[in-house]
Amino acid sequence: MFQGHYGPAGLLHLLFSDVSLVWLMISTQIIDICYFAMNLLCKYVCQMQVKECPFICSEYSTLNVEWARKGVLMPTNNYAVFSHSLSGSVVLSLILTVLYVMIRGRGKRSFLSLYSIMFMGVVSHWLLDVVVHRPDMSLFPPWTHSRLGMGTWHYWSRLQNLLLEYSCVFVGLVGIIATRIMNDGMTKGVTSQWSFWMACGCYSLLAVVLNYVALYDDTPQKMTETAVDGAVLQPDHAIPVFISYVISISISYWMDSSRRSSTQDASKKNK
């Protein structure tokens, strides 16, 4: 899944409006951030020689030529035992919570409360990937090698997967708008500052465009004439993906009701 991963961040912001939407957005993508970072590390340190650098290159994807020729949406075998596992989600949630407390403080919440919220954001990514991936989503390595995956990328059409992505994106957007209205009241919330609505529009447009581009990309199919089955894929798209993360998360700053609430609280104290 792509931009659809941000959907749960909007719902979590509705439930926990004092927690930064920016950090909730990061939590829903930290799994892929970790995965692509490890891909780039493997590329620049080991030139994607995964057999020669098994530790640094522990996470990568290989091309399945047969699937590509059949037009399967994501014709790859993915090896991401740490980042895309429940064990990894536990660790990444802890790291993210520590960073949150160091940068923003705990506020009125305990560390455990913040950790639970961040974990919900992180694990939402894992759960949505279970829906779209083949059975390559690990549970609790190294204690178990069990893997899950329903495979909508494998069995559904591109249009069906696109509609699934859009549904997740816009359910989250509804949560973000509802949070603003609940915090400011119906009248004031609807007529909120223009930057909020501009950000919502930019967020929606970006999600529509990026999801379409990602799901209708036919690069793997074009590679089938020359590619070797099982070849390790270069992470050429990692940098554009990171740029999309930066843009999406930056936009969320202007939709963040916790930032607005903090400003209002500070104004009341000054009075």
Cβ within 8 Å of residue 124, ≥6 positions away: 5, 8, 12, 28
pLDDT category at 144 given cuts 50, 70, 90 is: confident
Q: What is the mean pLDDT of residues 103-121?
A: 96
Position 267 in a domain: no
How many CB atoms are closer than 10 A to CB 29?
A: 23
Position 215 in a domain: yes
| Rg, the chain, Cα only | 20
Mean pLDDT of the chain: 91
Give all strands (DSSP E) within 133-182, no chain letters: 137-138, 147-148
* Lowest mean pLDDT segment, chosen from 64-68, 74-78, 132-136, 221-225: 221-225
Position 25 in a domain: yes
pLDDT over threshold 90, residue 167:
yes
Q: What is the pLDDT of residues 180-231, one digit of tens each?
A: 988 877 655 555 578 899 999 999 999 999 999 999 988 887 887 788 999 9
Q: What is the mean pLDDT of residues 249-257?
A: 94
Q: Which long-range contacts (CB under 8 A, 24 or more apart) does 110-116 make?
A: 114/19
pLDDT over threshold 80, residue 124:
yes
Cis previous bond, 142, omega within 30:
yes
Position 271 in a domain: no
pTM value is: 0.92
Closest by Cα among 209, 241, 200, 202 to 10? 200
Q: What is the mean pLDDT of residues 29-45?
A: 97
Three-state helix/strand/coil letters over 66-110? HHHHHCCCCCEEEECCCCCEHHHHHHHHHHHHHHHHHHHCCCCCC
Place of tokens 């603003």: 180
Predicted local confidence at residue 186, as pLDDT = 61
Residue 102, amino acid:
M
Predicted local confidence at residue 43, as pLDDT = 96
Q: What is the mean pLDDT of residues 127-136?
A: 97
Q: Domain containing 198: what range?
A: 3-262
- CA separation for the pair 217, 102 (Å, rounded): 40
Domain count, the chain: 1
**Percent of the chain residues topping a pLDDT of 70:** 93
Predicted local confidence at residue 169, as pLDDT = 98
Do 248 and 28 form a contact (C-beta atoms < 8 A)?
Answer: no
Position 166 in a domain: yes
